[in-house]
Structure 1
């Protein structure tokens, strides 16, 4: 009798437990927490507006666009391993030597549960600033005519040829380390517009337009690498039209060769970093 009663009670418990378990599983919300890791070079480290926050020899500051993104998205966790002068190899496998000592490969910050990654990389791999140097003039009103120089064209073509595989391999390594993460590759460009403004952008108007087209090609390479690795491309250059280094202080997102604010030459201003952060937030699926 006692055994029979126990069996009945056990059956009731099972009957009650199974529906409850089913409801609990069905109603369980997916993990929506944002665990964000920022990787890359000096475009992701900040404008130096807050020099006291510089640390680790990487020149990361409080107004870096990834920090703004993390704050905007209310990320559950956020870490930046972006470092000035970084190349693709410094993300994946090679320590980067800085003024305060070596920094380990940035990819070490990724975890299997990382959900969001931004990457700003590629410019230092091809030393893009050296590629456009032949376009600079020593005085206003001159024309270096770099757009017609075969050597300049060849160097640009060679650089873009090697850039794609490097960035693609970097994105593949990131995806392997953080397979659940949404990865955004942030594009280059925006510094140059369709005109020069000596000494900030010390080029003729025609050469400035030529440099813009170089960045169009560069971004095409980056966008292709993103597509082939399931990442999303953030087109900064398209949004930055009218906000180049020749624009007025109320519109300028980037500084030129000679900066007019507390910003590194040829880098985004505080306003530019905020704009980049907005573009990243909008591009996140």
Structure 2
């Protein structure tokens, strides 16, 4: 068990940062004070350095600055005893593809007045499928992130935390999921490929793995208690949500999974 007061560094993209979840403590990063890193740190009494940043790719963790923020690995020091990592989705444009597809499908509805062919051309502007090489690249990048963390903090416990499930058994086409029955399985396949990349990276490096994807399958969009948001054209300041991202309940669930893992 990690001792209270130990240094904890959180790395990752928006599924770790928590855009749209009050309170936002860093607007540029879309970072919430109630994201899973903050919740884990509060639960275990850890000294948190949270450099999660919405839109981050694995390159932004490794060596590429993002906006005015340095590469996230710069935050990892020799005295770090815990590092959590949630990244790779933006390498695949996972959520971005889902958002663009939803937006274009929404625009295609009125376009059907101009003819089905026009509407289908609008919908076809988004590809939901990635080749095996794309998932292998994410796996390799996650392995490199873990290896670089261990170079900087040899004693750190490293935890790979994969992505909450968006499309699950209860997810159906509707207003807040404006994809059709043919498109939704493709999004689910992308999520499966991303989860597999995390599993392979954990097996390769020996890092701990928190499978948020599996734990949240029954809490996907359309379920009785969803842990992620659906699609919305309205921003949070106008009563909308950040589309296809964790809710406060989802962040709490991921934090609980991490704490449980750390106590074993």
Task: Give the paired residue count.
Answer: 241
- 1:199 and 1:116, CA in 2 relative to 1: closer, same or farther beyond 3 A? same
Query: 1:67 aligned to 2:38?
Result: yes
User: Over aligned residues, Cα RMSD in angstroms?
Assistant: 2.9
Alpha-carbon deviation of 1:50?
2.2
1:39 alignment partner, SS class? strand
Aligned to 1:276: 254
Aligned to 2:79: 113
Higher RCO by CA contacts (8 Å cutoff, separation 6 or greater): 2
Alpha-carbon deviation of 1:247?
2.3
Alpha-carbon deviation of 1:56?
6.1
Equivalent of 1:168 in 128, 134, 143: 143
Question: Which range moves more in the overlay, 206-215 or 165-174?
Answer: 206-215
Q: Distance in 1 between matches of 2:242 and 2:187?
A: 20
Runs of 5+ unmatched residues, structure 2: 110-115, 121-126
Q: Is the 8 A contact 2:232 2:240 kept in 1?
A: no
Q: Distance in 1 between matches of 2:227 and 2:19?
A: 11
Aligned to 1:37: 9
Aligned to 1:24: none
Instruction: String of CA shifts for 1:150-185, please: whole Å, max 9, x gaps.
Output: x754x3434213211111111111111111111111
Q: Distance in 2 between matches of 1:231 and 1:31?
A: 16
Instruction: String of CA shifts for 1:125-163, please: whole Å, max 9, x gaps.
Output: 121135555687445xx9x8xxxxxx754x343421321
1:90 alignment partner, SS class? helix
Alpha-carbon deviation of 1:189?
4.0
Q: TM-score, normalised by structure 1?
A: 0.75
Q: Is the 8 A contact 2:90 2:96 kept in 1?
A: no
Alpha-carbon deviation of 1:203?
2.5
Q: Distance in 1 between matches of 2:39 and 2:2?
A: 22
Pick the structure with greater CA Rg. 1
Runs of 5+ unmatched residues, structure 1: 1-29, 145-150
Alpha-carbon deviation of 1:205?
4.1
Q: Is the 8 A contact 1:197 1:246 kept in 2?
A: no
Q: Distance in 2 between matches of 1:217 and 1:134?
A: 19
Q: Is the 8 A contact 2:18 2:32 kept in 1?
A: yes
- 1:220 and 1:123, CA in 2 relative to 1: closer, same or farther beyond 3 A? same
Q: TM-score, normalised by structure 2?
A: 0.80
Query: 1:256 aligned to 2:230?
Result: yes
Query: 1:200 aligned to 2:172?
Result: no
